Chains A and B, each alone.
Chain A
Amino acid sequence: MRYLPLTSSDRAEMLSVIGAGSVDDLFVDVPESARLSGPIEGLPGHASELAVERHMTALARKNMVAGDVPFFLGCGAYRHHVPASVDHLIQRGEFLTAYTPYQPEIAQGTLQMLFEFQTQVARLLGTDVANASMYDGSTACWEAIGMARRITRKSKAILSSGLHPHYVSVAKTMAKYTGDTLETGAPVLTAETDIDQMIAAIDADTSCVVVQYPDILGRIADLTPLAEACHAKKALLIAVVTEPVALGAIRSPGEMDADIVVGEGQSLGVGLQFGGPYVGLMGCKDKYIRQMPGRFCGETVDADGKRGFVLTLSTREQHIRREKATSNICTNSGLCALAFSIHMTLLGEAGLRRMAGINHANACRAADRLAKVPGVKLVNDVFFNEFTLDLGHEARPIVRTLAERGVLAGVSLGRLYPGEDALANGLVVAVTETVTAEDIETLAQALEEVLA
């Protein structure tokens, strides 16, 4: 076994130091009835690196790879180009194989990176502070609702109909057990967002309003009036950003006075990975820090007066407060946060803005071209890099047909909202810098043929 360094003579020598006759003697506390004597059912013996590589590669080949085909999927996960140096750096063993920085004197690499990440995220989201990452956007969104409950001592959350339906599902699951009341509904295939309806729905019992920006259909709207309406009723505005690249082109939620901003950081540095691992972003106003879940890295000094970093504010956490903890979250997405941070550092302000500009321009071109396909209507004319088409026919089978022809056309709203007939014709198309003019033309022509 290539990963197990003990030799049989090592084992014998160690057993004699221990005073045990055999390794079985070390398992004496396991009741006889619970011991597994035979081999594991069906599992072959250890395999060579080559054999395992063949097996896994064969499985990988059964998938259609996004990079091999014209690709237009978004809805919470986006395909962007990740510079080669990002993956190179996160594979350095000192990052890849480090643990949670419990001993800060020998973990300054991870800690300084997290401090830089927190600052980058806070600036991007427009918040005063940010934490050292959450599992992903959907769980960060739920944690924000819990945070609003603790701050306002109210438990009715209004969820925008433009919030990702999976994020809504996660919140519904959790609310069943925490007693929060959630008001939500499916979106309508129109250009207008539901901001006015949400403003009308806020009352004295409302803990928070949760709005996605850009929303599930790709629509964007000024959040300032919503923030004002929330604050007038002592509720918090939570903004959810599933495509952080957008913030290179449009105003940040923090700038529009959102109290808590959460997001999915997968777009930068992480890659699609069939849904995980991703990295949840979370920022808030200064005054809410002590109600914020997750890890924080803080600046301090060492015994020699040198600047250094430590994990801090842990008195909110489960290992100190146990059942009174702010949240049960224990880990973060450290390595994905590192990838996000490196990508952001490589881009810088100029690069992120340029990248966002290219995304938007490509999306505008695609929207223009696709709207010319007979029978296709562009639902929203204001968007960043993702917009919704009304195909005039049920989109889901069309997406499958296009996939058979080697085009991954987008996400059908029928997949996201099964049973919502009014949405069945909707197709959400995401266009990033990885999409070429030929890709757009291929999609448009394939759509023309399929719809004809």
Chain B
Amino acid sequence: MTINQSGWKPTSPEAKDGEVSATFTGNRALMLEEKLIFEIGDAHTTGVDFAEGDVAGSRLGDLSRKAPIGLPGLSEPETVRHYTRLSRQNYAIDLGLFPLGSCTMKHNPRLNEKMARLPGFSDVHPLQPVDTVQGALEVIHQLAHWLVTLTGMASVAMSPKAGAHGELCGILAIKAALEKRGEGHRKVILVPESAHGTNPATAAFAGFSVENIPATDEGRVDTAALKARLGPDVAGVMITNPNTCGLFERDLKDISDAVHGVGGYVYCDGANFNAIVGRVRPGDLGVDAMHINLHKTFSTPHGGGGPGSGPVVFSDALTPFAPLPFVEKTGEGFRLVEEENADDHHADSFGRMVAFHGQMGMFTRALTYILSHGADGLRQVAEDAVLNANYVLRSLEDTLDAPFAKSGPCMHEAIFSDENLAEGFSTIDVAKALIDEGFHPMTMYFPLVVHGAMLIEPTETESKAALDQFIGALASVAERAKAGDPSLKTAPHFAPRARLDETLAARKPVLVWKDKAA
């Protein structure tokens, strides 16, 4: 495509039979090309008016800035238009089904957003005197109470900033507990193959050595192999339940007992808690620590990559080692337990993970969500999430290879492989063709134990009509991939961009904009 940017007299694109000519702007109807702010803004323009008047007075030592920063500015209308145009190049749950397995993209209730923006929550400083933030502490305390109740655990650390940060929190508590027992020599964490990649990274980051435990053909942890590996050098296991094959780990209680029997601890990756909330309490399965991704189970928007929030629930055994700070109820109200007052039974805390109190904005949203659903609604959430996933699994198992279809019902996500596609066709081709059908693709190539995995998580906020449309689209694409339709190899055809060259991006990284004219 040629874009004439120099003037108003372009060479008209030549008419050819049956071919659609390029446009002058590069735009295609409502699909608009948008340049970078560095190409459209300049150093003198600003979209913010400040009070008039001089700003004299300099006590900056000899450090006042002389060199330009290089920041372009835009007026408010230009800014609004720039970001609105960019937003239109994004797929989002507000646009349609977003079946990313293991990521849990469900509807984001707007009440949650409204509540998080109440000035009483959004315009409060983390270091205000505690008497002036009793409402904020009460939100944390109420949410903490429900998290502990729903999981059947003894306590919860609210401060971890994301799921993987929560994993670190749990592993650090395990490490602190072992050291307190004088068993710091236990260096091995067992991690099943089907675990999230963050699990082994976390364990290694905290100084443990990681040993993989295989999965069975059924898609569950090989319990016999795990038990055989247990011994006095094992600090614990990290297990995901429901697991990343979308299945419930039936043997978790048995595994927990065995791990406890040799003096180890059980970490559960609770990323998939939404499948069992209100129906199963991980505490009853012998779990010692588990993070909960608030954005997944209790629906806080993911904003194109975050922020997340990963509170960690603890068993009695690990509670004394939980991080600071946390909120406690007192006779008069709520107090913040920090370094200075972490006396007595909190003296074994492993310390602080983050500057302030965690993701308050996410806590407000999660509490709003829990109260909106109530006891009956939360149980229905799990049931509908599981029902929707099984509906997808059974509706497509004759079309796509479903490796664990005989392992029993799936939980909140259904998994397929690329085994029965035509030679040379793979999961990526199915995924990219789904884009042309108007859907965000499923999770691709994860978990690693399944060849060309397609992991689909519809969540509970999808209607049957939406599921039927998605199932129809995926079945159609799958049939084309089985028949070897070559147009799949170049999909997507109707997206803002065709397939992007990821190899080039990694080989020659361009991470900041540089003025090519300069």
Contacts and interface: CB of A to CB of B under 8 A. Distances in A.
B70 A349 contact: yes
A367 B304 CA distance: 42
Given A45-B375, A85-B47, A271-B123, 12 more contacts: A3-B373, A27-B279, A63-B120, A67-B123, A89-B79, A94-B95, A166-B354, A167-B355, A274-B356, A319-B446, A323-B200, A348-B73
A452 interface: no
A367 B60 CA distance: 13
B57 A136 contact: no
A103 B440 contact: yes
B111 A53 contact: yes
Given A271-B123, A276-B307, A360-B57, A345 B47 contact: yes
B411 to A, nearest CB: 8
B361 to A, nearest CB: 5
A315 B279 CA distance: 38
Interface string A267-298: 00001111111010000000001000001111
A38 to B, nearest CB: 9
B27 interface: no
B496 A34 contact: no
B12 interface: no
Given A103-B435, A105-B499, A298-B510, A33 B373 contact: no
Given A63-B135, A109-B86, A177-B172, A123 B127 contact: no
Interface stretch (B312-320, B363-371, B416-424, B473-481): B363-371
A361 B111 CA distance: 40
Contacts of B95: 93-94
A421 to B, nearest CB: 13
15 contacts: A3-B461, A11-B384, A40-B278, A63-B133, A75-B127, A97-B108, A122-B511, A139-B354, A178-B206, A275-B126, A276-B357, A330-B196, A336-B303, A346-B79, A358-B55
B303 A334 contact: yes
B216 interface: no
B430 interface: no
A40 B65 contact: no
Cβ-closest 6 pairs across A and B: A348-B73, A335-B303, A60-B120, A275-B356, A62-B135, A334-B305
B406 interface: no
A151 B192 CA distance: 31
B207 A177 contact: yes
A73 B60 contact: no
Contact of B499 (A52, A303, A332): A303
Contacts of B374: 43-47
Given A41-B149, A53-B111, A348-B46, A364 B59 contact: yes
Nearest to B281: A36
Interface in B474-518: 490, 492, 495-502, 504-506, 509-513
A217 interface: no
B93 A97 contact: yes
Interface in B156-209: 161-165, 167-168, 172, 175, 196-198, 200-207
A403 B128 contact: yes
Contacts of A381: 59
B512 A129 contact: yes
Nearest to B94: A93
Interface stretch (A15-23, A152-160, A230-238): A15-23
Nearest to A34: B284
Contacts of B133: 63-64, 274
Interface string B200-232: 111111110010000000000000000000000
Interface string B371-388: 111111111110110111
Contacts of A75: 127
A1 B373 contact: yes
Q: Most B CB atoms within 10 A — which of A15, A42, A334?
A: A334
A330 B163 contact: yes
A403 to B, nearest CB: 5
Contacts of B50: 351, 354-355, 358, 433
Interface in A414-429: 415-416, 418-419
Given A169-B339, A302-B499, A360-B58, A99 B280 contact: no
B92 A275 contact: no
A57 interface: yes
Interface in B452-489: 460-464, 466
Interface string A62-89: 1111111001010111010001010111
A207 interface: no
Q: Most B CB atoms within 10 A — which of A107, A139, A322, A336?
A: A322
B272 interface: no
Contact of B69 (A2, A34, A247, A303): A247
Given A62-B135, A116-B38, A335-B307, A34 B60 contact: no
B10 interface: no
